[in-house]
Amino acid sequence: MSITEKNMSAQELRERYKAERDKRVRNDGPEQYLEPTGRFAHLLEDPYTEVKHREPRKDEVTVAIIGGGFAGLCAGARLKEAGIEDVTIIESGGDVGGVWYWNRYPGAMCDTAAMVYLPLLEETNYFPSAKYVQGHEIHAHAQRIAETFNLYDGALFSTAVEEARWDENIERWVIKTNRGDELKAQFLAMGTGPMNNPKLPGIPGIEDFKGHMFHTARWDYDYTGGDRTGKPMKKLSDKRVGIIGTGATAVQCIPHLSATSGDLYVFQRTPSSIDERNNRPLTGEDFDDLQPGWQQEWLQNFATLQSGGFADKDLVKDGWTDIAIRIRDRIISMIQDNPELGLDEVWLEAFTDSDDEKMNDIRARVNTIVSDDQTAESLKPWYRQLCKRPCFHDEYLQSFNNPATHLIDTDGKGVEQIDETGLWANGQHYELDCIVLASGFEVHIMHSAHYETYGKEGKSLKEHWDNGMKSLHGINMHGFPNLCILGLAQGGNLVANVTHNFSEASTAIAAIIKKCIDGGHTMFESTQEAETNWVNRLEAQDRGFLANCTPGYYNNEGHTSTDRDLFSNARFPDGSVAFFNYLSDWINKADFEGISFS
């Protein structure tokens, strides 16, 4: 640990965090990014699957699911388990997998332990090969789920929804696609994810570069050589490669670029926090003692520790649970020392202290790995851990000890300009053969990002959410009968294990639809009162934490001034596990309070 840090008081840390944030907040906020058009329009195309001609489909289905990622697959699986067979997935990609279909960059891997990240492991009788598995294994698992539950049957791939509209006369959702399909679905589930399109950094001159340029979401292995299983990218051996961005994606692909590029220039605006990953293969010993129901137990255990709860054992034991356990233990010791204090009084202080301690460890870790002091200083993150997606890696920081890997720290300013031969940062020009854009994805709370959803009386979801998202449980909306969405917001919002949110929501969705069918009803809808009560209940949650964070997509690039921006992050005030338990009780009671069936 550097001397400065060791001596930094909590107050000094707060000031440093604020100064680093202030440096980075830009007037243009999220507008700084560009949608891929012009020379970048291909980023919206699918390079992996040839689109084959087919006749438009015009028929009826019981359930249509938009999105074939883990959200849609979990919903499909739970519906099939509930005996609802007529399920059609509509997916813009050429296969299931969602982000794991599109993102094939070298080093792509889950950041959450595979035993909890990969959904439906027991149902598919699969055991992950390692604690954290590579993207291609995750994609194969998505395929396994689709095969196990016959979700490939009738699925419409390479098909983008253009509109979903509730037709009150026939009491069906009418779904139109870019392939001329017109599906009439009794029920509609949307698992479209918040991040589907790559976005570009709005750097002047980005169109001018004459060398090679691609986005991480469409890795160009023809240019780099290698493949997504990690074969070396030999074609880069004589190339000067620049990468823009140091977020979770860049952290995973930089070690591979570092190992193979002639020279690698990493253009950093804000460093990521890099904790250790400690990946290891999983063997028979890891699985032999598991009893039926083990995955739900692991999920519950991981989520409990994430929510500040108490569990006898830490089954997953990783960087995510480490911070959670620190907070929990600090709360215990504070209450033991001051028995008159209640949980509410100590929680905030324990959270802040543990966060400071954790981030001091993260910064100290940089010095233990990176040999050049100046580079090490530049790689230290100055914000609270959950302000940005925490990263875990055992080769990222080490890459900067490679003399051919150059960190270009822009001290929060970013790349200034791109021209025909390279780019400018800190007033200096860097000649490059190739630029890799690791600039992330458009983020929407709207499940209408690329198509519009019209409910009763032609009211759009966008209109319904004009002053912020409104839902019951983050799943149902008043005025949108027979519609369910799968996401994080207004539900458990467990960011440490995104798929867990999907599997819990899927169980609820399957139960609601089954109740509707078995009860001889044709329609269900959240009542206005239930939706309003739910939204009010979520209001109790303190949402100040993210607002004061360093800018990023978590907080609308630091512009979280409107209720709507903050509200997208709203979650059940008592945390994810409390929400999952609440939802499970709500399902088991079987009266589905707040939903009217007709």
Residues near ligand NDP, by CB under 6 A: 24, 109-111, 201, 203, 244-250, 252, 267, 269-270, 389, 414-415, 438-441, 552-553
| Cα dihedral 251→543→355→131 (10° resolution) | -50
C-beta of residue 222 within 8 angstroms of C-beta of residue 210: no
Closest approach, Cβ 490 to ligand NDP, in A, equals 18
The residue among 92, 91, 66, 63 whose CA lies nearest residue 78 is 63
| C-alpha separations of 584 from 155, 521, 532, 596 in Å | 29, 22, 21, 18
What's the CA angle centered on 558, arms 531 and 414, to 5 degrees?
A: 140
Place of tokens 């009893």: 291
Residue 531 or 557: which CB sits closer to ligand NDP? Answer: 557
Nearest CA to 69 out of 579, 512, 503 is that of 503
**Any idea what DSSP says for residue 40?**
G
Residue placing its CB nearer to ligand NDP in the complex, 133 or 376:
133
Which residues lie closer than 8 Å to 348 by C-beta, 6 or more apart? none
- Is 476:535 a contact under the CB 8 Å cutoff? no
Q: What's the rounded Cα separation, in Å, for the pair 389 and 141?
A: 24
Q: Which is nearer to ligand NDP, 246 or 576 (CB)?
A: 246
Q: What are phi and psi of 485, to 5 degrees?
A: -120, 155
269 or 473: CB nearest ligand NDP: 269
Q: How far is the CB of 411 from ligand NDP (least distance, A)?
A: 11
Nearest approach, Cβ of residue 228 and ligand NDP (Å): 13
Give every CB contact of residue 18 below 8 A, 6+ residues apart in sequence: 548
Torsion over CA of 373, 376, 381 and 385, rounded to 10 degrees?
Answer: -120
* CA dist 427 → 22, 70, 205, 265, 414 (Å): 21, 44, 15, 15, 11
Smallest distance from the beta carbon of 587 to ligand NDP, in angstroms? 28
Nearer to ligand NDP, 159 or 439 (CB): 439
The CB-of-299 to ligand NDP minimum distance in angstroms stands at 16
DSSP-derived secondary structure letter, 385: G
Cβ 178 to ligand NDP shortest distance, Å: 26
**Token pair belonging to 262:** 């002639």
CB of 270 to ligand NDP, least distance (A): 3
Compare residues 163 and 416 and give the one whose CB is closer to ligand NDP.
416
Q: Choose among 37, 40, 41, 136: nearest CA to 95.
A: 136
Q: Is 391 helix (H, G, I), strand (E, B) or coil?
A: strand
Q: Residue 346 or 438: which CB sits closer to ligand NDP?
A: 438
CB of 466 vs ligand NDP, minimal distance in Å: 26
CA distance to 16, 122, 278, 299, 304, per residue, from 313 (Å): 36, 21, 19, 13, 11
Beta carbon of residue 258, minimum distance to ligand NDP (angstroms, whole number): 17
Instruction: State the minimum distance, in angstroms, from the CB of residue 553 to ligand NDP.
Output: 5
**Least Å distance between CB 418 and ligand NDP?**
10
By beta-carbon proximity to ligand NDP, the closer residue of 439 and 503 is 439
DSSP designation for 106: T
The least CB distance from residue 62 to ligand NDP, in Å, is 33
Rank residues 441 and 465 by Cβ distance to ligand NDP and give the closer one. 441
Pick the closer one to ligand NDP by CB: 183 or 496: 496
Nearer to ligand NDP, 159 or 503 (CB): 503
Q: Shortest approach of ligand NDP to residue 250 CB, angstroms? A: 6
Q: What's the CA gap between 147 and 97, in Å, rounded?
A: 12
In the complex with ligand NDP, the residue whose CB is nearer, 98 or 440, is 440
How many CB atoms sit inside 10 A of residue 564's CB?
A: 15
Largest CA distance in the chain: 72
Q: Which pairing describes strands 200-201 and 87-90: parallel, antiparallel, or unpaired?
A: unpaired
Q: Tell me the closest approach of the beta carbon of residue 115 to ligand NDP, in angstroms.
A: 14
Length of the chain equals 598
Give bridge partners of residue 8 from the DSSP assignment.
none
The whole-angstrom distance between residue 331's C-alpha and the CA centroid of its chain comes to 29
CB atoms within 10 A of CB 110: 22
CB of 202 to ligand NDP, least distance (A): 7
Taking the alpha carbons at both ends of the chain, their separation in whole angstroms is: 64
Closest to ligand NDP by CB, 223 or 424: 424
Are 363 and 381 contacting, i.e. CB atoms less than 8 angstroms apart?
Answer: yes
Cα atoms in the Cβ-side hemisphere of radius 13 Å centred on 204:
4
Q: Are the C-beta atoms of 80 and 150 separated by less than 8 Å? A: yes
Q: Which residues sit opposite 434 in a β-bridge?
A: 212, 241
Question: Which of 173, 554 has the CB closer to ligand NDP?
Answer: 554
Cα(579)–Cα(490) distance, integer angstroms? 10
Question: Which residue number, 480 or 553, has a Cβ lying nearer to ligand NDP?
Answer: 553
